[in-house]
Amino acid sequence: MKLFKIRGGVHPDDYKALTAKHAIETLPLPDLLHIPLQQHIGSPAAPVVRRGEQVLKGQLLAHSQGMISAPVHAPTSGRVMGVGNYPAHHASGLSVPTITLKPDGKDQWVNNTAIPIDPFKLPPEEIATRVAAAGIVGMGGATFPAAVKLNLRTRYTLETLVINGAECEPFLTCDDRLMQEQAADVIDGIRIMAHALGVEKIIIGIENNKPDAQSAMETEAAVYPDICIAHLPTRYPMGSEKHLVQTLTGLETPARSLTADIGVVVHNVATALAVHDALRHGRPLLSRVVTVSGGAIRAPKNLRVLIGTPVDDLLSYCGGFTSTPARLISGGPMMGQRLPGTRVPIIKGSSGILALTRKEIMNDAVMPCIRCASCVRACPCGLVPLEMANHARVGDLEGAASFGLMDCIACGSCAYVCPSNIPLVQYFNYAKGELTARQRTEHKQAETRRLAELRSERMEKQKRAKREALAKRRQAAKAQQQKKVAEAEV
């Protein structure tokens, strides 16, 4: 099929050979599972189990609350050890509300009352409802609740479902292996999603560095004429939602809007598999495939891991470290987040655990900007990273925003090519965070003012009521007095 060009991008060494030939292995049951209540964008889930309660595999642990939220389920049967705070799978190292589960080893499924029926006979809303109940979120890393995206048909006119199998981040091979090993299930999940969205056209984008996945998917999709497999050129960030859509359709998503505005919805291949499991077998999202890789890992592997498994368990299953890693990363090396430690659990959005050596992280000394504009050429969004970083550095955040800070997708292409090793993405993340924090403060101030005004109004009213009551009493007393005097006179 005809592909369109996107601007910018980089060609990092992909290091995918470390794990690309390793079939997915299932990690043995861990001793303890730590299941965070918030593994998605939106409001955290509210727990429905108590300490000491016995739960079965697939049982609801916490229900979603609010429009954008997702429930979490028990990944295996066992006893709830507690509902408390535990270090999050996040660069900040903060603790978040987490349910700790001790597996009993029986792996006993909860009684499934929902009889799996042909999903293509279900109305689209029902599919979205079931996907929401299964706790499925975007598994490419964004963790946006998938059901919300499946319900977009009510607000937008949709034409195309794009399936993101680009996996453009170096090291990661989990989606590659999924497409090779479970192509039929993935295709089925994709068709269910297309049915839910009511779209006719399905495009699956797979980069050319995954020929086995391309051929496996092509074989499975051959019987469905509406599915088209696109062979994408290998270039980072091809897997960025908006850039993928532009490559496939030639349409550029307007700044700060959704791909749905141009009639396209993008889902990840792993999400498609989760949808298949939920609709065909009634299974909620309990596990995911994680690539454990990097130069410091003794035996890199692709593992199917229960949600909540400590990262420690994955690392020891892969033979531990060959040397102390210079950096431990969750996700890919370009956009992934640094992990504060190995105690943290695997969550729905963790696609990879990378232990990188000093050589791999290229962490050389930072030097001043020489204005070579390499970053401008590399930026896939057409921004001017050097100017944005300079404004952020001197504290002029509005200036940075006027150069398009809010359109930056933090892909890291600019920082990758920077000859002065300037941590450009950190500047952008800092500036975005600071701007959001200011907005939050402003909002709080407006609310404070409103509350204070309401209060003073109420106090005024009370005072007035008191004064009026007093005046009335006085008048009454006066009248009585006059009456008394009159009576005495008579």
Partner 1 sequence: MIAALLSLMTLGLFLGGLLGLAARFFKVEGNPLETEIEAMFPGSQCGQCGFPGCTPAAAAVVSGTAPVTLCPPGGRGLAEALADKLGVSADLSGMEDKPPAYAHVREGLCIGYTKCFKRCPTDAIIGGPKQIHAVFRDACTGCEKCYDVCPTECIEMRPVEPTLQTWYWPKPLEVA
Which residues contact partner 1 by CB under 8 A? 38, 88, 90-92, 94, 96, 366-368, 392-393, 423, 426-427, 429-430, 432-434, 436-438, 440-442, 444-445, 447-449, 451-455
Is the distance from CB of 171 to CB of 354 less than 8 angstroms? yes
Is the distance from CB of 176 to CB of 19 less than 8 angstroms? no
Q: Rounded to the nearest whole angstrom, what is the least distance from the CB of residue 436 to partner 1 in the complex?
A: 7
Nearer to partner 1, 222 or 465 (CB): 465
Q: Rounded to the nearest whole angstrom, what is the least distance from the CB of residue 344 to partner 1 in the complex?
A: 12
Before 12, cis peptide (omega within 30)?
Answer: no
Q: Rounded to the nearest whole angstrom, what is the least distance from the CB of residue 283 to partner 1 in the complex?
A: 28
Nearer to partner 1, 93 or 116 (CB): 93
Q: Rounded to the nearest whole angstrom, what is the least distance from the CB of residue 87 to partner 1 in the complex?
A: 11
Q: Rounded to the nearest whole angstrom, what is the least distance from the CB of residue 169 to partner 1 in the complex?
A: 19
**Could you tell me which residues come within 8 angstroms of residue 403 by beta carbon, excluding any fewer than 6 positions away?**
383, 384, 387, 388, 391
Backbone phi, psi, residue 304, to 5°: -90, 120
CA nearest to 176, candidates 355, 416, 352, 356: 352
Nearer to partner 1, 369 or 417 (CB): 369
Nearer to partner 1, 26 or 441 (CB): 441
Nearer to partner 1, 355 or 400 (CB): 400
* φ/ψ bin of 58: left (φ > 0), alpha (ψ from -120 to 50), beta (otherwise): left
Nearer to partner 1, 27 or 37 (CB): 37
Q: Rounded to the nearest whole angstrom, what is the least distance from the CB of residue 38 to partner 1 in the complex?
A: 7
Q: Rounded to the nearest whole angstrom, what is the least distance from the CB of residue 485 to partner 1 in the complex?
A: 41
Q: Sign (positive/negative) of CA torsion 372, 375, 380, 383?
A: negative
The count of other CB atoms within 10 Å of the CB of residue 32 is: 15
The count of other CB atoms within 10 Å of the CB of residue 351 is: 24
Q: Rounded to the nearest whole angstrom, what is the least distance from the CB of residue 445 to partner 1 in the complex?
A: 5
Nearer to partner 1, 190 or 392 (CB): 392
Q: Rounded to the nearest whole angstrom, what is the least distance from the CB of residue 439 to partner 1 in the complex?
A: 9
Nearer to partner 1, 148 or 174 (CB): 148
Q: Rounded to the nearest whole angstrom, what is the least distance from the CB of residue 171 to partner 1 in the complex?
A: 22
Nearer to partner 1, 91 or 110 (CB): 91
Distances (CA, A) of 449 to 439, 445, 453: 15, 6, 6
What whole-number distance in Å separates Cα of residue 272 and Cα of residue 149? 13
**Could you tell me which residues come within 8 angstroms of residue 129 by beta carbon, excluding any fewer than 6 positions away?**
147
Longest dimension (CA), the chain: 117
Nearer to partner 1, 57 or 432 (CB): 432
Nearer to partner 1, 95 or 219 (CB): 95
Nearer to partner 1, 263 or 399 (CB): 399
CA nearest to 251, candidates 12, 1, 13, 3: 3
Q: Which two tokens stand for residue 340?
A: 């504060």
Q: Rounded to the nearest whole angstrom, what is the least distance from the CB of residue 85 to partner 1 in the complex?
A: 11
